[in-house]
Amino acid sequence: MDNMNNKGQGLLMAVVIAVMIFTVGMLFMQFLKSDITDARSPIGLDCQNSTISDGNKVTCLGVDIVIPYFIITVISAAGGIIISRFLL
């Protein structure tokens, strides 16, 4: 009975840590958004202009994909902590 109680406490702790990682990650994303907006502006890469070079277009796509990849990374890290408790 004591072993089952320890597993439940470990899972609860994993959920708390996962929520903390998710919250910190989402708060940190606000710092990324302002830099990405500045990089895409006419002063930076000028991503709204259709006559930019192919290299700038690829760079714009790379800059645009940072936020979705960051969100996926944060969710994967938080989910990995929870899933690791189920497997142990």
Q: Residue 73 pLDDT > 70, yes or no?
A: yes
Are 76 and 84 in contact by the 8 Å Cβ rule? The answer is no
* Confidence class for position 61, pLDDT limits 50, 70, 90: very high
Identify the pLDDT of residue 71: 93
DSSP SS3 for 33: helix
Residues 4-57 pLDDT 10s: 566 677 788 888 999 999 999 999 988 888 888 888 888 888 889 889 999 999
Taking each continuous run of H as one helix and of E as one strand, the counts in the chain are 3, 0
